[in-house]
Amino acid sequence: MMVVTVLLGGLITALTYAYLRIFYRRRKPGEPPIVHGHFLLGNSLPFTENAVNFLNKSRDKVGDVFTFRLLNKYWTMVLDIHSYELFVKEKNFDFKPIEEMVNNNVFGYHLVDGRKMVAEAGQKVSGKYLFATVETFAKNLIEAFKQTSKQTDNCSRRKNITAINQKNTEMKIDKQEVHHSGECGSIADSELFIDSGLNQQPGLPTGEVGPGAGVWCQDELRNFTSKIFFSPVFYTIFGRGDTGSSGSFHPQVVHKNFDLFHKYFNFLLFGLPIKLFPKAMEAVGVLAQQPSSAEMVNRNGCSDYIKHSTQFMLKNNQSERDIICHNLIFLHINYNTFRVAYWCLYKLMEDDVVMAAVKKEVEDVVEAKRTGANEAEYEAEFTADDINKLPIVDSFLNEIMRVMCGVLIARECTADTKFTTVDGRTFNIRQGDRIAMYPPVFHHDPEVFQDPETFKYDRFVDAEFFKHGVRVKHPMTGFGSLCFGQKLAMLQLKWFIINVVNSFKVELLNGERTLPNKTMYGHEILPPTHDVKCRFIPRERACTLKFLNNYGSNGSRQLNGTSSGSVL
């Protein structure tokens, strides 16, 4: 009995010691206030349920700089938007451990000399490389639009068959038939439906069928965006290999598997082993089937970013597996742009007023730029500056970025640090703690953005924003301070919006609605709670749009115009 009591006593003492060492913290003088939570989980549950609500409530209780706990890690949140520059410029707040955590926990690899590699590879998406990348993207976009338009011809053919057969139902296209009809693989196309026109939905205009014209095609919005946006992004990054030799390294296969993998992203980020998630394992198995590094760098159209980073890693004797993981990270980064494109299409379709405003701006500028003797020859050229000088397109995109942003700007504190906010309050931050700013809180602050829950496409036109009566220098912080791809992403997205409005009519099917999934805060761009069905048809006689790479001519080495992006 005595032995049992002693053992029990020992166990309780050990557990109490471990608890005090790992979880418990007493606030020291000068440190931010602590928001206490569950004795084991800390504040993990309210944070993962809805981070913005939790952080707002905490701020109301203890002020805009405070510390809380996620499992065993203490985080200090700086929710003072005016202190953004001070935060991102503090040399003791280091991004490297965060980057390593993502590389290690989510992608299972270590990047040798990572900071140097990112700094060097980052050059490959700025200056002349930025312009060249947009040029390649624009060409790939034309190709993707062409292929998708061809599918509506296919729908048209099928419609006739449908009419002949008197089938009054939607039909799913036979996988193989679609596979032969265009570049898209069978996975994407397996979800393509024909809107036969015979089962017209109430409230929707009749499919515009004329000789030689397509009919409305139905698709899931994610699938549609994948074909017209993710494909060109994918080919811009990796080029087009010798088709057939690349197997499952195909944009639609990669996209489907990335979609699946991303569902588990937050679990992996917090360190849970991927083996717990068989579906994620399966997806990664497919994603890992990539061309060898030697083949990749020689692929036609492979980006300078991938070429440079691959060669850098080879020089450091990193394995083929590491290179594959790095390619996945780069895709993961670009997947954000895909999600924004999804929301752009959704918001255009959701509200006729938004669509009309964006369309008018695009049509006016296309009309003004148009050259050519007749409709068949109409063509309009856009430079990067031209793209950036469309206030409605710019504001619409910024509003999407505001509402859909889920990013946490996180750093690790590398030494005990006194952090002083812009209004002069000083807080002691402990070495080893995480420290963060949270753009979604700023983006939904009613003092900065009036009616923050309402989507206002023109919110950013000639606008300034204020907090406590002081102008906010950085109202939009969704790219953080380090993102090299900000200018590229914004240009690609604007060019996509212009082109999609010019080339397609797109509509949501009746009653189809979705929302950003707020349990996914932590993803840079929030995914939808569920997908929606849409339908599309190419616009007849659409003017051909071209991107003009004028880098270096007329001194245009910089990007001018509205919100072209500024990395601090």
The binding site comprises: 483
Interaction between residue 362 and ligand HEM (CB under 6 A): no
How far apart are alpha carbons 419 and 203 in whole angstroms? 58
- Closest contact distance (angstroms) between CB of 435 and ligand HEM is 12
Angle between helices 304-315 and 114-122 (to 10 degrees): 150
Structural contact between residues 257 and 283, judged by C-beta atoms closer than 8 angstroms? yes
CA gap 274, 64 in Å, rounded = 35
Query: What's the full length of the chain, in residues?
Result: 568
Q: How far is the CB of 333 from ligand HEM (least distance, A)?
A: 4
Alpha helix ranges (H) inside 23-66: 44-49, 51-62
Q: 264, 479, 495, 536: which one contacts ligand HEM (CB under 6 A)?
A: 479
Q: Does 236 bind ligand HEM (CB under 6 A)?
A: no
The reply on whether position 548 binds ligand HEM by CB under 6 A is no
CA angle, corner 485, sides to 479 and 489, nearest 5?
85
The contact pattern for ligand HEM, residues 383-422, with x = CB under 6 A and - = no contact, is ------------------------x-x-------------
Identify the residue among 35, 81, 489, 545 touching ligand HEM (CB under 6 A).
489
Least gap, CB of 271 to ligand HEM (angstroms): 19
Member of 185, 480, 527, 528 binding ligand HEM (CB under 6 A):
480
- Nearer to ligand HEM by Cβ, of 340 and 543: the residue is 340
CA-based nearest residue to 168, from 133, 204, 195:
195
Q: Does 525 bind ligand HEM (CB under 6 A)?
A: yes
Distance CA 411, CA 6 (A): 44
Task: Provide the terminal-to-terminal Cα distance of the chain, rounded to the nearest Å.
Answer: 67
Q: Compare residues 81 and 217 and give the one whose CB is closer to ligand HEM.
A: 81
Q: Give yes or no for residue 314 binding ligand HEM (CB under 6 A).
A: no
* Cβ burial 218-241 (10 Å sphere, 16+ → b, else e): bbbbbbbbbbbbbbbbbbbbbbeb
Q: Looking at 182, 291, 475, 485, which residue binds ligand HEM (CB under 6 A)?
A: 485
481 binds ligand HEM (CB under 6 A): yes
Which listed range, 29-37, 306-314, 334-342, 360-368, lies at the site for ligand HEM (CB under 6 A)?
A: 334-342
The H or E element spanning position 413 is strand 409-413
Count, residues near ligand HEM per rule CB under 6 A: 24
d(CA 565, CA 318): 33
Closest CA to 263 of 530, 494, 46, 534: 530
Q: With the CA atoms of 153, 159, 165 and 169 taken in that order, what torsion angle do they form, in degrees rounded to the nearest 10?
A: 130
Which one of 8-16, 28-36, 137-145, 485-493 is the stretch in contact with ligand HEM (CB under 6 A)? Answer: 485-493
Site residues for ligand HEM, 340-359, by CB under 6 A, read 340
User: Closer CB to ligand HEM, residue 52 or residue 62?
Assistant: 52
Please state the closest distance from residue 125 (CB atom) to ligand HEM, in A.
4
Q: Rounded to an integer, what distance in angstroms lies between the CA atom of residue 347 and that of residue 344? A: 5
Which residues define the annotated binding site for heme? 483
Our CB check for ligand HEM shows the closer of 291 and 485 to be: 485
Asked whether position 99 contacts ligand HEM by CB under 6 A, the answer is yes
Torsion, Cα 382 384 390 394, to 10 degrees, reads: 140
Can you name the residues that pair with 77 across neighbouring β-strands?
Answer: 66, 436
Structure tokens at 99: 């980057």
Which residue, 214 or 485, has its beta carbon nearer to ligand HEM?
A: 485
Residue 192 backbone dihedrals phi, psi, to 5 degrees: -80, 130
In the shown chain, the binding pattern of residues 426 to 455 toward ligand HEM, with x for contact by CB under 6 A and - for none, equals ------------------------------
Q: For ligand HEM, give the closer residue by CB, 126 or 289.
A: 126
Residue type, position 503, single letter: S
The nearer residue to ligand HEM, 37 or 480, going by C-beta atoms, is: 480
Q: Which tokens in the block code for residue 145?
A: 């639009």
Q: Does 484 bind ligand HEM (CB under 6 A)?
A: yes
The residue from 102, 269, 422, 482 that contacts ligand HEM (CB under 6 A) is: 482
**Site residues for ligand HEM, window 38-97 (CB under 6 A)?**
95
Q: Which position's Cβ is nearest ligand HEM?
A: 485
Task: Name the segment binding ligand HEM (CB under 6 A); options: 69-77, 102-110, 369-377, 475-483.
Answer: 475-483
With helix as H, strand as E and coil as C, how does 345-398 read? Answer: HHHHHHCHHHHHHHHHHHHHHHHHHCECCCHHHCEEEECHHHHHCCHHHHHHHH
Residue 357 to residue 497: CA distance in whole angstroms: 12
Instruction: Provide CB contacts within 8 A for 312, sequence distance 6+.
Output: 113, 116, 117, 120, 121
Check residue 478 for interaction with ligand HEM (CB under 6 A): yes
Nearest to ligand HEM of 478, 528 (CB atom):
478
Window 109-148: contact mask with ligand HEM (x via CB under 6 A): ---------x---x--x-----------------------
Of the candidates 334, 388, 417, 563, which one interacts with ligand HEM according to CB under 6 A?
A: 334
- Helices 352-369 and 391-404: angle between axes, nearest 10 degrees: 140
In whole angstroms, the minimum distance from the beta carbon of 480 to ligand HEM comes to 2
In the complex with ligand HEM, the residue whose CB is nearer, 241 or 478, is 478
Alpha carbon of residue 113 to chain centroid: 26
Closest to ligand HEM by CB, 46 vs 122, is: 122
Strands (E), 235-329: 239-240, 300-302
| Phi and psi based region of residue 201 (left: phi greater than 0; alpha: psi -120 to 50; beta: remaining) | beta
Give me the residues that bind ligand HEM (CB under 6 A), please. 95, 99, 118, 122, 125, 333-334, 336-337, 340, 407, 409, 478-485, 488-489, 524-525
